[in-house]
Structure 1
Amino acid sequence: MATPQEIALAHQRRQRGIILTLVAMVLGLWRRIDQGRLTESWQADVGRSIVATTAQAQLETAALVPVYLRDLAAAQDIDLPGLEVVPEAFSGTASDGRPLESLMYQPVIALKRLLAEGVPMDEAMRRATAHMTMIAATQAADAGRAAVEAGMTANPRWVSYVRVVNLPACSRCIILAGRTYSYSTGFQRHPNCDCSMMPVTSDDVRVPSARGLFDEMSPAEQERRFGKAGAEAVRLGADMGQVVNARRGMATAAGGRKVTTEGTTVRGVAGRRLGDFARLPGERYRRSRVPRPMPEQILADAGGDREEAIRLLTRFGYLMTPTAT
């Protein structure tokens, strides 16, 4: 049987494969935008296709999680809980709680602003393209991580998680490799971060550490990631956390109160559980008037009370009893 560490690294590689495919597809769709009719071409086809493709990647990264957690529990010789992640609950919504289509439109807004400032079209498109691929990749990874958070919370044997970093990675992620956090601690990430989480039963775990990853890299790669002077300082024994500001540029999807309307219609899992429906102008289906928190918000609201977190994750449609197969 594979070790927990091998299972976690394999899971991360599968997630990375989904993200790389997503980026390639989004690039192809983005190139179809009419540079003379940005909003019109976005609304006609390009935007709808990009949003749908990103939502599908979110679904695929979240769908990896039930199998990942089952394999991990078996390798750690612990029982599975009576609840399982609902992959669909993590698709179609941005990790800050807004509708995914709203977030994906931001590169178009940025492109228009750059052109209004006099930036040449080629350069403006280059920046907007980088922005678009960053958003898509980050949202797919966030969906997978949020699903792991929900599934981990459902199993009381998992008291914490380890940050799993696989090369290639940036210096900000490398210095956090192997660190352990409480199960209810929000996952810190920066845009384009594809680090993952390995739920654990104790702090006695072995995954690639910051120093281990540093030693795996060639001197040239070390200098690319940490800078020439920084890499040399680490090779001389300096603490990587002092060489690199671990928090610069990092963000946590759990920061601020986050709610979403996704899945709250009469057809959605959360909507059916929440009730209190009303038909809003312009919408086809009635929607629950009860705010639906994001998974990260639920963990924050629970304040470390695992039973309360499970209750809320179940109530809001992120966990459910698995169907028999």
Structure 2
Amino acid sequence: METPPELARGRYDLVSATIRAILEQIQAVWHTLSAESIEEALQGEAGAAIAAAALSGQFSVADAASAYIAAQMAAQGASALSDAAVIASAFAGIAPGGGRLESLLYLPAIGVRRRVAAGLPPEEAMIGGLVDMSMYTATAIADAARSADQVAMATTRSCVAYVRVVQLPACSRCIVLAGQIYPHSEGFLRHPRCDCQTLPLAEKDWPDVPTPEELFAQLDKEQQQRVFTVDGARAIRAGADIGQVVNARRGMDTVHIYGRRLQVTHEGATRRSVYGRSRSRAGDEMRQFAGSRFGQATSRRYYRSARSPRLMPEEIFRLADGNRDDELRLLRRNGYIT
């Protein structure tokens, strides 16, 4: 049987491979577009194809979360039984921070227009737009995987904590958190392009995950300076604490509801979305934002209108304050488990 760190590496490889495959699909569509008509294209068929590809990637990585958590628990000699089933589609169509995925994926069109207005040749502006689109898509898929993992941890009572697994190359903000152990319900610190993963634990002690100091030592001097700056790397080599050199922050969007600051989402692909509206104007109600997943048309569950905000998983964990029964109740009420 594989050891848990190897399982974590397998989860990382699966998410990374999914992201690469989706980005290849998106790049193929992007190369057919032009700077002159980019906004119209991303509101039409090309935009719908890009968004559907990203959505299918989110669904795929979320769908594998329960099996990953169960395998980890079994490998650690703990019960792999779950109190509920994770609904993979609940993590599809949501952008990091709780916004709508298709709205996020429209932003590269604005970036292209701004680059052209600033004087860049259309070809260079489109390259920059593709970089933006790739970053947004990769981050959204990785975020869906981490959120689904954490929800699956909540449904598996034998899982009491998780440790952050950092794969090099990585930024200083991630390296400083490497090997840190958190309660299963504590939010995962991340940033755009972050590809760190969770390693769920049945016990609150795990010695085999690289520490920040070990990861720093694996970098050569030039890499250390690039990640931590010249002065920061010099300070760490001189014995300074990495945690004092790097101040990692999580920047999450919040909204005010009933006088409280909450992290919420209105669901991703809906009739009211950018692409949903454009397809509706074309009289194509049944196929709004429709795409294919594993050769089959996506379900109408992605078209439902969001009448009220839906709590993000991390907000649910914060509100439940460590009470597993409350976590499951709120996760079920907000459509993440069944």
TM-score by length of 1: 0.83
SS in 1 for 2:179: coil
One-letter identity of the residue aligned with 2:222: A
Letter in 2 for 1:316: N
C-alpha change, 1:156 and 1:17, in structure 2 (3 Å) is: same
For residues 113-143 of structure 1, what are the alpha-carbon distances to aligned partners after superposition, in whole Å with 9 as ceiling and x for unaligned? 3333444434433332221111000000000
Q: What residue is the counterpart of 1:66 in the other structure?
A: 66
Q: CA deviation at 1:152?
A: 0.9
Match of 1:260 among 262, 266, 276: 266
Give the 3-state SS of the residue equivalent to 2:64 in structure 1. helix
Map 1:39-78; keep pairs closer than 5 Å: 39-78=39-78
Correspondence 1:188-199 to 2 at 5 A: 188-199=189-200
Cα distance between partner residues in 2 of 1:117 and 1:290 = 39
Q: Deviation string for 1:286-309 (max 9, x for gaps)? A: 757454322222222323322111
What amino acid maps onto 1:73 in structure 2? M
- The 1:69/1:205 distance shift into structure 2, 3 A limit, reads same
Stretches of structure 1 lacking an aligned partner (at least 5 in a row): 266-281, 321-325
Judge which range, 7-16 or 221-230, deviates more.
221-230
Aligned to 1:214: 216
- Percent identical pairs in the alignment equals 39
Shift of 1:204: 0.8
What is the CA-CA distance between 1:168 and the residue it aligns to? 1.8
Counterpart CA distance in 2 for 1:313 and 1:159 is 17
Distance 2:65 2:17 in 1: 15
Match of 2:36 in 1: 36
SS at match of 2:163: strand
Deviations 1:154-187 (A, max 9, x none): 1233222211111121221111101112222211
2:134 is equivalent to residue 128 of structure 1: no
**One of 241, 245, 248 as aligned partner of 2:247:** 245
Amino acid at match of 2:97: D
Distance 1:112 1:97, change over 3 A: same
- Answer yes or no: is the 8 Å Cα contact 2:35–2:125 preserved in 1: no
1:34-183 equivalences under 5 Å are: 34-79=34-79, 80-183=81-184
Instruction: Supply the AA of the counterpart residue of 1:50.
Output: I
The aligned residue for residue 4 of structure 2 is: 4
Paired with 1:118 and 1:131, the residues of 2 have a C-alpha distance of: 18
Larger RCO (CA within 8 A; separation ≥ 6)? 2
8 Å CA contact retained: 1:177, 1:210: yes
* Whole-angstrom CA distance in 2 between matches of 1:253 and 1:305: 24
Deviation at 1:18, TM superposition (A): 1.4
The answer for the alignment partner of 1:319 in structure 2 is: 337
Q: Secondary structure of 1:161's match?
A: strand
Question: Gapped runs of 5+ residues in structure 2?
Answer: 255-260, 272-283, 287-302
Contact 2:3 2:75 in 1 (8 A): yes
- Contact 2:100–2:268 (Cα < 8 Å) also in 1: yes
The residue type equivalent to 2:212 in the other structure is: A
Check conservation: 2:160, 2:201, Cα contact below 8 A.
yes
- Return the alpha-carbon distance in structure 1 between the equivalents of residues 47 and 269 of structure 2: 21
CA contact (8 A) 1:171 1:225 kept: yes
Shift of 1:39: 2.0
Question: What aligned pairs does 1:234-313 form with structure 2 within 5 A after superposition?
Answer: 234-247=236-249, 250-252=250-252, 256-261=262-267, 289=307, 291-313=309-331
Normalised TM-score (structure 2): 0.80
8 A contact 2:154–2:328 mirrored in 1? yes
Distance 1:286 1:49, change over 3 A: closer
Q: Do the aligned partners of residues 48 and 161 (structure 1) sit closer, same or farther apart at CA in structure 2, a change above 3 Å counting?
A: same
Whether 2:229 is the aligned partner of 1:227: answer yes
Q: Is the 8 A contact 1:33 1:42 kept in 2?
A: no
How big is the shift at 1:189?
A: 0.7
Q: 1:150 to 1:166 in 2, by over 3 A?
A: same
Q: Secondary structure at the match of 2:44?
A: helix
Q: What amino acid does structure 2 have at the position aligned with 1:197? A: T
Change (3 A) 1:291 1:222: closer
Residue 128 and residue 312 in structure 1: after superposition, are their counterparts in 2 closer, same or farther (change >3 A)?
same
1:296 and 1:230 map into 2 onto residues whose CA distance is 32
- Which AA in structure 1 matches 2:164? R
Q: Secondary structure at the match of 1:199?
A: strand
